Amino acid sequence: MNFYKPDQHRKIAYNKFECNLENKPGIIFLGGLASDMEGTKATYLENWCQNNKVSFLRFDYSGHGSSGGNFIDGSVLSWSADALSVLDNLTNGKQILVGSSMGGWIALLLAKKRPKKIHSILGIAAAPDFTEDLMWKNFNNDEKKKITNDGILMQDSQYSDEPYKISKNLIFQSRSCLILSDKLRFNFPVRLLQGTSDEDVPIDLALKLINHIDCNDAKLEIVKNADHSFSSEKCLSIIINNLKELLSLN
């Protein structure tokens, strides 16, 4: 594990494998909310990239995993800034952005800011604007008041014994990152993977996103019975098959 310090306030943990093959893009894995770079998809992709001589980078956002900072201080605004700094300073050449859940949203933000650095995007249960459309709009008045007045709302998580800490920062600062109000115009391939058994990101959001993307090569693949983690052997194989296709494209 290595550490990268974009500034005096941030310390980003990352793992990087670099292979110097000309004209072949690298891959960056962008994780989900409250996840870390030791998850099943991130480590599986790293092993596959090492075996197939493809550059790969995984990292933890501030307040996640082994990186510095407090989770409740962060938002999609600050975590996308972490990702942008990693893209700018820790990678060479064009990159395939593999974004899981919140990471799919962050991948889209990076693509808007650094289109010339992006080879393609692979979104896995991508969740753009989730803080507003899947959280805030579904909270009751008491929950909204608790976030506004207390600064934090605790919610049970099916992925961890620890509850989700939904902070005022997460909701309100992330509003500057909302992207589904305007068309997303990209000049590179986009692939979206979505499971029918995903209890966190509805298929409606995947359909909204694919219809929102203006690009010559965009596809949505809906996988029956796949859940939000998208980490079964079948799902991992689907991810790799999509990466193989993207790597074959110029």
Sketch the domain layout of the chain as residue ranges.
2-129+182-248
pLDDT confidence of residue 250? 66
**Residue 155 bridge partners (DSSP):** 164
The angle, 0 to 180 degrees and rounded to 10, between the axes of the packed helices 40-51 and 233-248 is 50
Query: Which pLDDT tens digit goes with each residue over 83-121?
Result: 999 999 999 999 999 999 999 999 999 999 999 999 999
Residue 12 pLDDT > 90: yes
SS3 state of residue 232: coil
The burial of 168, by beta-carbon neighbours within 10 Å (0-12 exposed, 13-18 middle, 19 or more buried), is given as: middle
CA angle (93 as vertex; 95, 33 as ends), nearest 5: 30
Residues in the chain: 250
pLDDT band at 23 (very low <50, low <70, confident <90, very high): confident
What confidence category does residue 190 fall into, taking pLDDT thresholds of 50, 70 and 90?
Answer: very high
This prediction's pTM: 0.95
User: CATH classification of 2-129+182-248, choosing from 3.30.530.80, 3.40.640.10, 3.40.50.1820, 3.40.50.1980?
Assistant: 3.40.50.1820
Looking at every residue in the chain, the average pLDDT score rounds to: 94
**Mean pLDDT to the nearest integer, 40-61:** 97
**Contact predicate 120/190, CB 8 Å:** yes
Instruction: Provide the 8-state DSSP code for 163.
Output: P
Whether 157 has a pLDDT exceeding 80, the answer reads no
pLDDT classification of 66: cutoffs 50, 70, 90: very high
User: In whole angstroms, what separates CA 30 from the centre of its chain?
Assistant: 4
pLDDT at 195 over 70: yes
